[in-house]
């Protein structure tokens, strides 16, 4: 169901089945690119435009990804003006929306889905970005929603949802190969797509990359390089009214050799099946099941694996002025997490656990008048730690004209406890005298419950002319029961437990615009202003306080220029800036990336890209002196399409 969710995100947010009769004429006001994105549903006659979505949504298009020169999913996410993306080292990224950024994404509140498969870990609430990749050439679009999406996506979609949507196998026919290298990485990929019987199509792909180690500011080399290989397939049968998809991937990653311990190794595989059907009544149904296995072995850190099964369905029913969407799902994840070696033992108790989640949701999009739509919805989701949680939301959308949208939303979102919050143990040999060695110094909180956010948003989006679109969103998140720690009381043999003793408000503004200056030149840009007012609740003995909940810039901006200076030439420049991160201090930085592409023939494209062009290196995340400096680098290569 999730792969359709984007469409549904847009549908629930957007669909205007009532206006279907008038929808025809204004198709003429869409750009060519937008026309290519219109979902043609032969039955519902529903028009779906990003412009009409009452949420802070930015869609990274296939072309934007291609022209950016991004070589991994995490890099491509830099294109979304409503995300904060900081490169931690050669292979790791800290990515979030609306703050709470943390390296390794510990405690992140961002849900990430690849073709409907969640890659957010139930073990520690985060994403290992070095393990999650796709063949970017086959990505249709990445929908980035900043703000809560719990009513559709469930717990953990507190600050945002990222939906990576790959193209149908029918849209990726023929051959594709790319090869590139530079002073920070090299890699290659290929894909082949073919027909499969009368109505089917399949593609196979493989990609491999090697990222070089980075250095610290003092010039000392770090062992953070990463080698990754991945392969997969996707097969699609049928058509818009009845379709079936089967897809899978497998990957293996290996860190570079380190002085201490062996290299980090990771691997995983997944298989997903999805069936969707549209009925003459305008109703639609989607059923999806997947299995995902991921494993990570860090000899001096996290060593664990998780097997996840997931089954979901959803059903959309138009009923006069109402559009009902309802569904449910069940997920089960079994993990095994090994303890690290003494004397500093990180472990989980129990070492192996099976968690399950169930959910049901329903929402109604109701057209109050021709121009005013109200969407009310609620999701009930259960988890093994806190039972059933309620995730309601209300959204109001007003289109005073066909090219303007005012919207407002109120939502309740939660981050449900992860294994880390409840089951974590840190035993430091010698911290407590024998025979009390088995008492952890830090322990998961037996009383840890879900973090809660009440979120209020106001937005305006417009397309005043065919050449200009812009969007602005103001948000206010009222957080309660945020994760906090305690100071251990060593002499009384009392561990420090993970608690819910922080609260506070996060507010800000996100805005972006795109302007087609001439037919051959497009400008885009965005800013994020973020203010966090977090505090410990009375009675907490947390020694760190709010800095433990992420390190975020107050200002962030980007400007992008996409130009075709000559018929077969593409020239792109991206300038990004972030103000300083407060604690640990990371100085403000501005980076300039550029890419030049030349289509030498129909099939062959040559490109050269430079990253961080005007700066030998800078850190983007982490504490000095151990952190990585992100160096200036170049990458060149060729792409062949048949």
Partner 1 sequence: MSACRGRAARIVMLAMGMVLLLGTVAAQPQEGGAQEQQVKAAYLYKFGGYVEWPGEAFKEPDSPIVIGIAGDSAMAQEVERIVGNRTVNGRGVEIREIRPDEDIGSPHILFVGRSQLSRIGGLAAHPQPILIVTDAANALKQGSIINFVTTGNRVRFEVSLDAARRNTLRIAAPLLAVAMKVQ
Contacts of 566 (CB under 8 A, 6+ apart): none
Rounded to a whole number of angstroms, the minimum distance from the CB of residue 427 to partner 1 is: 28
Residue 137 contacts residue 72 (beta carbons within 8 Å): no
Pick the binder of partner 1 from 195, 344, 352, 356 (CB under 8 A): 356
Nearest distance in Å: CB 287, partner 1: 6
CA–CA gap between residue 270 and residue 288 (Å, rounded): 13
- 3 state DSSP class of 479: strand
Which residue's entry shows tokens 């799902």? 329
Contacts to partner 1 from residues 211-240, by CB under 8 A: 236, 240
Burial 518-541 (b: 16+ CB within 10 A, else e): eeeebebbbbbbbebebebbeebe
Question: Token pair 């990336």 is at which residue?
Answer: 593
Pick one of 22, 35, 585, 600: the residue that binds partner 1 (CB under 8 A).
Answer: 35
Regarding 279 and contact with partner 1 (CB under 8 A), the answer is yes
CA distance 259 to 49: 53
By rule CB under 8 A, what string of x and - marks binding of each residue 472-511 to partner 1?
----------------------------------------
Q: Decide: is 30 part of the binding site for partner 1 (CB under 8 A).
A: yes
List of residues 6+ apart from 435 with CB closer than 8 A: none
Reading phi first (left if > 0) and then psi (alpha if -120 to 50, else beta), residue 272 is in beta
User: Given candidates 22, 257, 281, 342, which one binds partner 1 under the rule CB under 8 A?
Assistant: 281
From residue 194, give the alpha-carbon distance in Å to each of 191, 232, 238, 298, 642. Answer: 10, 14, 15, 39, 12
User: Longest Cα pair distance anywhere in the chain, in angstroms?
Assistant: 80
313 touches partner 1 by CB under 8 A = yes
385 near partner 1 (CB under 8 A):
no
Give 488's contacts (C-beta < 8 A, 6+ positions apart): 431, 441, 442, 494, 495, 496
- Select from 275-283, 406-414, 533-541, 614-622 the region that touches partner 1 (CB under 8 A): 275-283
Q: Does 320 bind partner 1 (CB under 8 A)?
A: no
- Nearest approach in angstroms of CB 454 to partner 1 is 30
Q: Does 241 bind partner 1 (CB under 8 A)?
A: yes
User: Which is nearer to partner 1, 168 or 347 (by Cβ)?
Assistant: 168
Q: For the CB of residue 635, give the shortest distance to partner 1 in the complex, in Å.
A: 22
201, 205, 245, 592, 639 from 588: Cα distances, Å:
48, 39, 45, 14, 35
64 versus 552: smaller Cβ distance to partner 1: 64
Residues 50-109 within binding reach of partner 1 (CB under 8 A): 63
Strand-pairing partners, residue 382, are: 358, 388
Determine if 433 is a binding residue for partner 1 (CB under 8 A). Answer: no
Task: Indicate whether 171 belongs to the interface with partner 1 (CB under 8 A).
Answer: yes
How would you class 250 by CB atoms within 10 Å of its CB: exposed for 0-12, middle for 13-18, buried for 19 or more? middle
- Cα–Cα distance for residue pair 185/212, rounded to 1 Å: 6
Q: Does 277 bind partner 1 (CB under 8 A)?
A: yes
Nearer to partner 1, 61 or 579 (CB): 61
Give the binding range for partner 1 (CB under 8 A) out of 78-86, 142-150, 282-290, 291-299. 282-290
Measured from the CB of residue 174, what is the shortest distance to partner 1 in angstroms? 9
Under rule CB under 8 A, which residues in 455-474 are in contact with partner 1?
none
Does position 520 interact with partner 1 (CB under 8 A)? The reply is yes
Pseudo-torsion of CA 546, 551, 553, 558, nearest 10°?
-150
Q: Is 564 in the site for partner 1 (CB under 8 A)?
A: yes
Q: Is 23 a binder of partner 1 (CB under 8 A)?
A: yes
Query: Which residue stretch of 42-50, 129-137, 185-193, 367-375 sits at the interface with partner 1 (rule: CB under 8 A)?
Result: 42-50
Segment interacting with partner 1, rule: CB under 8 A, options 9-17, 20-28, 338-346, 543-551:
20-28
Preceding peptide of 584 cis, ω within 30°: yes
Residues that bind partner 1 (CB under 8 A): 23-25, 27-28, 30-33, 35-43, 45, 63, 167-168, 170-171, 236, 240-241, 277-281, 283, 285, 287, 311, 313, 315, 328, 330, 332, 356, 358, 516, 519-520, 564, 567, 602
């Amino acid at each position: 169901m999730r792969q359709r969710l984007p469409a549904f995100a847009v549908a629930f947010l957007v669909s205007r089945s009532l206006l279907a009769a008038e929808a025809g004429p204004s198709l003429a006001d869409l750009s060519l690119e937008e026309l290519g994105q219109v979902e043609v549903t032969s039955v519902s006659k529903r028009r779906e435009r990003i412009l009409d979505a009452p949420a802070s949504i930015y869609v990274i298009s296939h072309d934007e990804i291609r022209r950016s020169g991004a070589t991994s999913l995490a890099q491509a996410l830099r294109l979304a003006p409503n995300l904060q993306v900081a490169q931690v080292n050669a292979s790791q990224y800290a990515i979030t929306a609306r703050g709470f950024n943390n390296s390794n994404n510990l405690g992140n509140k961002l849900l990430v889905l690849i073709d409907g498969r969640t890659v957010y870990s139930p073990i520690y609430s985060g994403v290992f970005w070095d393990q999650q990749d796709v063949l970017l050439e086959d990505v249709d679009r990445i929908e980035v929603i900043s703000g809560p999406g719990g009513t559709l996506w469930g717990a953990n979609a507190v600050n945002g949802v990222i939906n990576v949507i790959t193209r149908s196998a029918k849209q990726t026919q023929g051959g594709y190969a790319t090869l590139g290298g530079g002073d920070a990485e090299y890699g290659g990929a290929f894909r082949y797509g073919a027909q499969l019987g009368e109505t089917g199509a399949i593609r196979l792909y493989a990609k491999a990359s090697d990222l070089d180690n980075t250095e610290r500011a003092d010039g000392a080399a770090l062992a953070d390089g990463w080698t990754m290989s991945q392969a997969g397939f996707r097969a699609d049968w049928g058509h818009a009214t009845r379709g079936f998809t089967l897809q899978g991937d497998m990957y293996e990653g290996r860190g570079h050799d380190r002085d201490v311990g062996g290299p980090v190794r990771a691997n995983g595989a997944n298989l997903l099946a999805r069936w969707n059907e549209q009925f003459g009544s305008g109703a639609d149904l989607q059923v999806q099941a997947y299995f995902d296995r991921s494993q990570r072995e860090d000899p001096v850190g996290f060593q664990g694996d998780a097997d996840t099964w997931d089954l979901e369905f959803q059903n959309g029913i138009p009923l006069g002025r109402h559009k009902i969407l309802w569904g449910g799902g069940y997920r089960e994840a079994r993990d095994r997490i090994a303890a690290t070696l003494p004397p500093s033992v990180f472990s989980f108790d129990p070492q192996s656990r099976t968690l399950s989640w169930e959910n049901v949701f329903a929402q109604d999009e109701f057209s109050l008048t021709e121009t005013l739509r109200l969407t009310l919805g609620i999701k009930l989701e259960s988890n093994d730690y806190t039972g059933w949680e309620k995730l309601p939301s209300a959204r109001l959308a007003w289109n005073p004209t066909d090219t303007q949208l005012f919207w407002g939303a109120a939502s309740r979102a939660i981050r449900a406890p992860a294994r880390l919050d409840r089951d974590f143990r840190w035993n430091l040999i010698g911290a407590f005298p024998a025979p009390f060695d088995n008492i952890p110094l830090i322990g998961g909180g037996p009383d840890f419950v879900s973090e809660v956010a009440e979120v209020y948003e106001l937005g305006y989006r417009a397309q005043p002319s065919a050449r200009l679109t812009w969007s602005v969103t103001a948000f206010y998140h009222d957080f309660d029961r945020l994760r906090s720690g305690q100071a251990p009381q060593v002499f009384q043999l009392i561990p420090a437990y993970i608690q819910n003793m922080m609260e506070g408000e996060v507010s800000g503004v996100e805005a972006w615009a795109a302007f087609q200056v001439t037919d051959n030149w497009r400008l885009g840009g965005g800013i994020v202003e973020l203010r966090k007012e977090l505090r410990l609740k009375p009675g907490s003995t947390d020694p760190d306080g709010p800095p433990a909940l992420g390190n975020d810039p107050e200002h962030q901006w980007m400007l992008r220029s996409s130009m075709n200076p000559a018929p077969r030439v593409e020239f792109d420049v991206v300038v990004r800036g972030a103000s300083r991160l407060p604690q640990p201090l990371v100085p403000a930085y501005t980076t300039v990336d550029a890419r030049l592409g030349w289509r030498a023939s129909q099939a062959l494209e040559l490109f050269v890209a430079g990253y961080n062009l005007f700066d030998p290196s800078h850190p983007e995340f982490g504490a000095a002196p151990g952190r990585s400096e992100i160096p200036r680098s170049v990458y060149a290569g060729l792409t062949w399409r048949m």
